[in-house]
Every structure is written in structure tokens, then in C-alpha cells.
Structure 1
Amino acid sequence: MDAILGYASSNDESDTNEPEEASVVRLQPSGYKCDYFGLVSESEKLSESHPVGNTVVTNVSTGDNEVSVEIPDSSFWSDLKETDIHKFQNESERNVSAGHSKMKNLSSKNKSRFNPIGDKRKRQINSPTSSRNNVKPHEVTPSISGSLTDRKLFFVHSKVQPLLHSKSKLSKIPSSREWTNPGHAGATNRLKWNIPNYSHILASCSMDSTIKLWNIWTQLDSCVQMLSVHTKAVRDIAWSSDGRQILSASYDRSSCITDVERGSVITRFPHNSYVTCCKYHPENQHLSITGSHNQIQTWDHRSPTKPCKIFTYKDKFGQVQDIVLTEDGSTVFSCSDLLSRDSADRNLMCWDYNTGIVLSNQIYQDTYNIIRMKIHPLEPQLLAQSTGNYIALFSLQRPYKMLKHKKYSHHKSQEYNIGFDISPNGQIVYSGSDQGKIYCYDYASGRHIKTLNTNLPVAMDIACHPVLPSTVSVSSWDGSIEVWR
């Protein structure tokens, strides 16, 4: 038994006197060193070990069994009695049972007070980031400027989920202001809702060189992320097909793709001049197209050092204001700020995407600039915002021409880069104005239906929610953002 357990005997005679049926526990001398590799001689072992003396066998009860403990017969152990051993054992058992009872009460208390929503908010407020910075719970804001946020960004919101797969084609004009925010420190140029699954996120870009992401349906800070990936004003943004990346165009002569959740730049595309518009290719998400001065460039995200295609014309066509691609990505429409003396030649141009050849440059004949464009979600028609205080309608089928029988013309722009949008079902056209109002038009007839009076000095851009039929966001020249419903 001793050879198996590895205990050292204190006396050879004591081993012969032990009862055969009782198990023996021997106390190993503390100064003994085990010779695992056989390097210590027998004389060294005897000199280092404690002197061997007489032992006393004591029977100790441990529940159902009785164990015989062999104790050295010395003055140190003379005062140890069996009652002391039992007393120490009982105290240990009471401490263990008290600990189990305390943990059980604490678990039942937390279970009775469990609240899924409240517990989630508590975890967000008492995050490691807030405790490190010594921030009060009501002052906690998400980490921004390119760092991983503590708040979850990508989920299906409860307001969006019921209508996510709805086939209803109803549309209703918003009637009241639901949300307002100071927004940016400069003019807000673009507003873009995310894809339908993550359409609780609204992106905005501004002249203050930042991109902000907003969750307007939250009781915490509505700004869930701020991206500082450019050094100058950001003119345009576009969401990727999975809704987790954003493409941006800036006056710092670059466009870049940013991971929204991490806030880090994935790819940056250098340009020779200002980049004023950008779009993802609808069929190939590895490709994006940007507009700058006298050039339209196509970029492959896998080789960002130089463009894979460059669209140029024999004559100058100015700074590209906006770009749209047809659903299959085969045709590109661009508008610029250049006007000729007698007509709007090269103001609105149609390009073949595969060859880069200009299909038409005589589409718009009025002596005004086209500043924004949208393709109708259901009809093969292009809507374009003109500096002539109206939205024009163009055919997407050859010959490309303006449909002069219909215009949306009650708002004023006064040379502002005023945006507009179309409801997801294509029935209502919304336009901003220089007076801070939202003008609502019936798409089929062109009739002015309603005007929404906002608190904004200039309504710069409009964005219709892709799922909720009556939700519209509007941005302002002073950076403010409002959501109407």
C-alpha cells in the first residue's frame, strides 16, 4: 500500500503492528526530498531525513468509514486529540454548506428580477469602456472615430421586422416629425438608409469630413458610430449589398470603402481631383464607380492602386455631380456642371459601361444643370433634379429623351445641391427646397400633393425608408437631420 501511494514509513516495526483491514495514512516528513531519477546516494537520504521515532495509531471516523492515522510520538503531536479532529471537520462542513446556500439565494434573486430589455441596457451601460473612462451611466456614448463599438449594430429591428417581407404596395405621406438631431457641424450632403434588413441605420455625410450612423429608434445615444476616414468634406456615400460596408467620396481626392462595425478603412482609391459621387456596381460588388473632374472611373476593390476603367470624352464635360447605373449595370448616366453657350450639351450623358463609349450627350436640352438623378424603382424612367426648379423625367430606352409632358415643379433650389427621392413603391416623389420644406408629388400625374414645413433653413437631401412606407429623413444646410413619419 505504501509503495503504491508513495508515502514514507516512519518505522518498520509499526508496519507489522497495523491491522490488516484498516487503511493507514502516514504523514510524510516535510524535509524529505524524493529521488525521482536515482541521483542521490543512500547515505545522503539518511542524513537529510528526520530522525525516526515511535508512532501512535489513532482511529478517525470519516462518515461511513473509519481511517487509522499514524501520528509520530513526539511533543508536537501530544496535545492533538480525536475530538479536535472531529471539531475541525464539522467547522469545515458548516462553511461549505453556508457558501452553497448563499450562492443559491443569489441565483434565485437574480432570476426573479430578470428583464431581457433592462438587462441588455445594463450590460451596455456598465461596459468595460465606460468603467475605464469613469463615465456616469447616463452619459455613456458608444466608442467612435474608427473603433469597435460596444453596441450591436446589425440586427433586425422590431419596427422593421413586421414589414420586411410584406407584399403591400400602400404608400402614405408622413404627417409629423418623429425625430430630430443637430447632426453635423457642417452641411449634410447625403442621407442613405441601409439595406432593408438593417434599415434602422441611417448614414449621413457632411462638409465637416465625417460620416455618422444613426439609430433613431433607441433610448440610448442615437449616433451609434462616427467614421473619420477623410480629411475634407464628404460629398457622397453608398451602402454595399450586405449593408456592412460603406463607400464614400470626398474632396480630399480619394474615395474609400470602410468597415462600418470596426470603423477601419478597407480600401482607398486615390484620384487626381475632387471626388463628388460614387456608386457600387449593381451586379458585381467588387466594382465601384466614381465621378471626378472630366473623368468617370471604375475601380476593382482587389487592386485599388489604379482604376480598371476610365470614361473620358473628346471634350471637357466638367465636374461630375452624380452617377446612376441601370439595374443590370450595362448603362451609366452622368450629369455635370458644365454648360455650353447655346444648349446643355454634355450636361446629361449616357455611357456604355463595358466599352466606355458615349451613347448620347444630347438628352437634356434646357440651359440648366442637372445635379441629382434617380432611377424609378418600377418604371424604365430616370428622374433628374434641375437647377431650373423642377424635376425632369427621361426615358431609359433608346432614343434617350426628356418626357416634356410631365414635370414636378413647385419647389425652389437657388443653386443649392438639392436632393430628392422616390418612395419604394414608386408612387410619391419627395423633393427638398431652399426654404426648408419637403414637397410631395404624385408620380403618375406630376401633381403637387402636400408640403411639409420643417424647422430646417434648407432641405438639402431626402431619403425614403426602404421598408416603412411613410418614413422620410431630411437633412439641412446647417447639419441638422429630421425624420418624418
Structure 2
Amino acid sequence: MSLIPRQAPDPSQPAPKRKNVPTGFAEEIALSRTSFTAQHRTYQSLGYAREPATGALIGASNNEVALSGADFTTHRPAKAISEAWRSKRQKKGDASIVSGDGSYKGPWAKYEEQTRYDESMKEVGEELASDEEWVEEEFVAPAGTSAVPALATDYAPAVEGDEGGETTEFHGSQQTDYQGRTYMHVPQDLGIDLTSQNTEIKNYIPSKQIHTWRGHTKPINALRFFPNSGHLLLSSSADTKIKLWDVYHQRELLRTFSGHSKSVNDICFNPTGTQFLSASYDKQIKLWDTEYGKCISRFTTGKIPHVIKFHPPIDEDPLTALSTEFLVGTSDNKIVQFDVRSGDKIQEYDHHLGPINSITFVDENRRFVTTSDDKSLRAWDYGIPVPIKFIAEPYMFALSRAASHPSGKYLAFQSGDNQIVVYAATDRFRQNRKKSFRGHNSAGYAIDLDISPDGQFLASGDSGGYVCFWDWKTGKLYHKFLASEKGAASKGPCTRVAWHPRETSKVVTAGLDGAIRYWD
């Protein structure tokens, strides 16, 4: 064995540099973000850039010579090219015209290529829609009618005599009491007056479970108390059923509404509670009579409705006035306004870039705020299809659910980053950064939140099966408990929470197991 002597380093050669990254040595260079971004965009758009340390050219040298070394920030297209681009764009239109020919487009004016693309995609969509609607079977025209069947419109109102297979079943012990009154009558033999106009009550956090309603076989999608009195509870589920429950006395199942073929996403009472709307994954919206269970009207946009809201009356008594219009947020990024009486589409709000998650009326029902999967918030004047406020910050997450504060000054939103954020419900619609509610997990689920009638507490579900309660003023998490019977292991997230509008500490919750739990 022979040993090879180690050679001494040559002093004339530079010493080798040690590795400072896993793949070798990276030289540190002081470079501002602005300079880096300018060179990066120059390389993307013009095909060349300058190496920060040496200034050497990287990329297409012929482009650099043709443009005299201009970078992204200094390069401007020739005047003729700019004029050619502008000539291909639609006119901005007249700001006094809302819709139709010559209507105002402003910054949303399209270019010729984009218009041709939209028209071609529209033709493709119409072809696909026609393929879905037509069934390969022989058409036999009735006597005295044309042999050509009529095409269905995009927004089809209910047709007289056109039954959609809706049925209802009464489950209660008796349909009327000894005076002939149905369950629509607000009970008077309770320890609380449910008909009083005085709503100044002090709320407390519930501590125990007092009842469980069972009847749904799949997850609960929505819970709605009867307006003002809260003596009835309406629920919709993924089992395609809508059920009406008695909150007092026997607390029994009163009626089941059947007519949808897929999961029922959302339900909404009108201000008097005599009727309610239901929206389903079968792309149908149906108007029901609460007392007798009859389906009054049917509506459709051809897309899946995600959220539905009656438009409350403006400057009228909500207990006596009739709501004749409603809004529906759909999967094709639009909010559509319908008239209940005629079944016609009145207006369409289509500025969102993702499916609609929530619709909340503000400013005494003259305006409404919408959120979407596009991680933005938009405020609208009712009836005008141009947003008056658009909020889309880089740090924002999708806002899945909303709740209005009883004072009418704030809106709380369930955010996708496991927190509840608050925005002002006034003209500026600014976020209140000092008011944020944390301590629960909601990411991945559309979890309800609700504010107590006195505005003191905020309640929210949780993906771990808990119900969380915060103090509205301080944002402190007061209490959380597992929303399952007698503390048993949770079967999934608690996704639905609603405060009773009249009781001091009554809260109803539901989740994926199909059971509705009542807490006090």
C-alpha cells in the first residue's frame, strides 16, 4: 500500500467556493423586486432579458436589436399598431342606456376576436342544450295543432296544468285544532308571546340539547325558522325532501314536500311565511304553499341554483306586504331576478366569475351583496345590473356563507381560511379588520353562521362537529360544544346553525347525519 502525498493548493488559482445551495454555489446579488419583475416580463413578452450581475444578453438577440434594447417598462407599440387594436374594440356606449343597442359597456367592451369566440361557444352550448332537451322518440302532434313542437325558452315559467310530479303528505296528529286553525296559527298558550312586536330580548349561549328531529336520511342543506314567530321549522336535505316541523307542543313532523329529483340546495320563506321557495340540483326552482303543500309555480334558468332569496318589501310592513320577486344565484356565475306572478325573468346580474355562494339584502332592502367562488364581494343596487362596489383583495378567500347583523350595519362572512370576516353594510362596504372571529375549522365546507337576535353573539358550525359562540364586540370565543347527542362522537361536521328569532337561548343545528338538534 502506497500513500499519495497531498498536493499543496496553487496560490495563483482562486480558492474553490463552498456549496451554499444543495446543487452548488449561488452568488448573492442585490436586486430589487421591481428590476427583477421588469426583466422577467421583458423576457416573457419580448423574448430577451439582461443578466443582473454582468448585464449579458439572454434570449433572442435579434429582437433586442430590433427594439433598441427596450425593456418591458419602456417598450411601446407603434402608433399604427395601437390604433389597429383600438379599432377592433366595441364602442363603450352611452352611460344612460342600461341594456340593448348602444348600452354602456365601459371597461367591459370586448374585442372582435373575443366576440367571435363567445358567439362560437354560445352556438356550441345551444347545440349541447338541444341534445339534452330532445329525446329520441316519435312526436305526435295533438289534433288541431301544428306538427312542429315548440322550443322551450331559457327561463320557463310554470304552465297551467303542467304538473311536475309534486306531492305532499301530512304527518301531524291533527290538521286543525278545536277552533279549526291549522299549524299556521301562532300558538298563544306558551310562556312567551310569539306575536309581540317587541323584539328587545337578551340572548344567552345554550348549554344542553332538549330535542332531536329525525326524518331526513341524508345531510341537511338548509334550516329556516318561520318568519318572526319561529313556531315552525323548515328543512331541506340531500334526500330530495323538504320537511316542516313543529317547534313547540309535540315537536312532531307536520308535512313533507316532495317534487325535486335531486338534492335541495336552499329554501327561503316569504316575509309572511305563507309560501316558500326551494332550489335543487335538478335545476328547478319551485314555489310552495306552506299550509297545504301545493306547488304553486315552477321556474328554471337551465343551470343549478345555489342560493335563493325573496326580495323583502321596501318601506312596508314585512308582516303584511307581499313579496313578488326573488333572486337566485346559479352555477353559471349569474344572479337572476324573477317575478313570482308572471314567472318572467326581470333582470340578470352577470359580473361574477364563479358560482354564486350567498345573497344578502342591505340598506333597507334597496341593495344586496353577493359573494362567489371567484373570491370577490360585489354590492348591487336592486334592479340595476352594474355593481356599485367590487372587492377582490389578494389575501381574500372564497366567502361561502353570510349573516346580517340585526343593526343592519354589518355583514359577517364565513371565509375559506378558517375565520369569519366582517364588512360594513353601508355605502363603502369596507372590511372591519379589527373584527375577526377565529377558533374553528370551516375550510372545505359551506358552513352556516348566524347572529343572535340581540346582536350580542355570533354562532357558527365547525368541520369537527362543534358549534362555536363568539362575543360580537370583542371577538372572544366564549364557548364551543360538540353538536351530537349526549356528547357522543360526532358523525361529521356541523354545517347548519340557526338562532330562534324569539327565544333567549334556543339554537338549532344539523349536519351530515340528517338529524336536527335543538339546544337551550
TM over 0.5: yes
Q: Answer whether contact 1:461 1:475 (CA < 8 A) is retained.
A: yes
CA contact (8 A) 2:281 2:305 kept: yes
Match for residue 327 of structure 2 among 289, 300, 315: 289
Q: 1:200 aligns with which of 210, 231, 235?
A: 231
Runs (4+) of structure 1 exceeding 6 A deviation are none
Report whether the alignment pairs 1:399 with 2:421.
no
User: Is 1:310 aligned with 2:348?
Assistant: yes
Contact 1:440 1:450 in 2 (8 A): yes
1:182: how far off? 2.9
Partner residue of 1:326? Answer: 362
- Structure 2: distance between partners of 1:160 and 1:302: 39
Aligned partners of 1:459 and 1:476 also within 8 Å? yes
Give the structure 1 partner of residue 263 of structure 2: 233
Shift of 1:300: 0.5
Residue 445 of structure 2 is matched in structure 1 by 416
Pairing partner for 1:451 from 469, 475, 480: 480
1:467 matched to 2:505 = no
- Are 2:356 and 1:356 equivalent residues in the alignment? no
Measure how far apart 1:397 and its partner are.
Answer: 2.0
Go from structure 1 to structure 2 and tell me whether the alpha carbon gap of 1:379 and 1:355 turns closer, same or farther (over 3 Å shift).
Answer: closer
Equivalences for residues 174-253 of structure 1 within 5 A: 174-197=206-229, 199-219=230-250, 222-253=252-283
Q: TM (normalized to structure 1)? A: 0.65
| 2:11 aligned partner | none
| Identity percentage of aligned residues | 27
Q: Deviations over 1:373-416 (max 9, x none)?
A: 11111141111011111110001223222111111111101301
Determine the C-alpha separation between the residues in 2 that align with 1:170 and 1:396: 24
1:404 aligned counterpart, secondary structure: strand
Contact 1:246 1:258 in 2 (8 A): yes
* Structure 1 residue 263, shift from structure 2 partner: 1.1
Unaligned ranges ≥5, structure 2: 1-165, 176-181, 314-321, 485-489
- Distance in 2 (CA, whole Å) between partners of 1:478 and 1:411 is 20
For 1:417 and 1:159, locate their aligned partners in 2 and report how far apart those are by CA, in whole Å: 35
Query: 2:308 & 2:470 partners in 1: Cα distance?
Result: 27
Other structure's SS at 1:146 match: strand
8 Å Cα contact 2:362/2:408 also seen in 1: no
In 2, the alpha carbon distance for the partners of 1:391 and 1:269 equals 33
CA deviation map 1:113-143 (0-9, x unaligned): xxxxxxxxxxxxxxxxxxxxxxxxxxxxxxx
- CA distance in 2 between counterparts of 1:214 and 1:412 reads 30
SS at 1:406 equivalent:
strand
Q: Find the aligned partners of 2:224 and 2:304 in 1 and give their Cα distance.
A: 21
Contact 2:451 2:499 (8 Å CA) reproduced: yes
Aligned residues of 2:447 and 2:495 also touching (Cα < 8 A): yes
Q: Which moved more, 1:165-174 or 1:388-397?
A: 165-174
- SS of equivalent to 2:513: coil
> Offset of 1:164 from its aligned partner?
4.0
- Whole-Å Cα distance in 1 between the matches of residues 242 and 517 of structure 2? 16
Equivalent position amino acid for 2:186 in 1:
V
- The secondary structure found in structure 1 opposite 2:193 is helix
Displacement of 1:478: 1.7
CA RMSD of aligned residues (A): 1.9
User: How far 1:145 moved relative to its partner?
Assistant: 4.4
Asked whether the equivalents of residues 470 and 477 of structure 2 are also in contact (C-alpha less than 8 Å), the reply is: yes
**CA shift at 1:181, angstroms?**
2.6
Work out whether residues 278 and 291 of structure 1, in 8 Å CA contact, stay in contact via their aligned partners in 2. yes
Deviations along 1:227-258, one digit per CA (max 9) or x if unpaired, are 11211111111111111211111111121110
Q: Give the residue type in structure 1 aligned to 2:234.
A: A
Closer/same/farther in 2, CA of residues 380 and 184 from structure 1, 3 Å limit: same
Name which of structure 1's ranges 167-176 and 404-413 shifts more when overlaid on structure 2.
167-176
Q: Which residue number in structure 2 is paired with residue 375 of structure 1?
A: 404
Q: How does 1:111-190 map to 2 (within 5 A)?
A: 145-147=167-169, 150-151=174-175, 152-157=182-187, 158-159=189-190, 161-162=192-193, 164-165=195-196, 166=198, 168-190=200-222
Structure 1: gaps spanning 5 or more residues = 1-143, 339-343
What does the per-residue CA deviation read over 1:402-434, in whole Å, with 9 as the maximum and x for residues that have no partner?
Answer: 111111111101301110101111111000001
SS of residue paired to 1:171: coil
1:430 is aligned to 2:462: no
Amino acid at match of 2:509: V
CA–CA distance in structure 2, aligned partners of residues 327 and 211 of structure 1:
31
How far 1:354 moved relative to its partner?
A: 2.5
Q: Residues 427-469 of structure 1, C-alpha deviation per residue, up to 9 Å, x if partnerless?
A: 1100000111110000111111111222142111101000001
How has the CA–CA distance of structure 1 residues 224 and 160 changed in structure 2, closer, same or farther, with 3 Å as cutoff?
farther
What displacement does 1:159 show?
Answer: 3.3
Conserved 8 A contact 2:170-2:254: no
Q: How big is each residue's C-alpha offset from its partner over 1:246-281, in whole Å with a ceiling of 9 and x where there is no partner?
A: 111111112111002211111111112100100111
1:341-396 Cα distance to aligned partner (Å, 9 max, x none): xxx4xx21112213111112225553411000111111411110111111100012
For 2:393 and 2:466, locate their aligned partners in 1 and report how far apart those are by CA, in whole Å.
Answer: 27
**Cα distance in 2 for residues equivalent to 1:435 and 1:330:** 38
Q: Give the direction of change, closer, same or farther, for the CA distance of 1:224–1:240 in structure 2 (3 Å limit).
A: same
Letter in 2 for 1:463: A
Higher Cα radius of gyration: 1
Letter in 1 for 2:378: M
1:161, distance to aligned residue in structure 2 (A): 4.3
CA separation of 1:466 and 1:264: change in aligned 2, threshold 3 A: same
Deviations 1:274-312 (A, max 9, x none): 0010011111600111110211011101111x3111111
Give runs of aligned pairs for residues 48-67 of structure 1, distance below 5 A. Answer: none
Give the match for residue 83 of structure 1.
none
> Given the superposition, is the C-alpha separation of residues 413 and 281 from structure 1 closer, same or farther in structure 2, using an over 3 Å criterion?
same
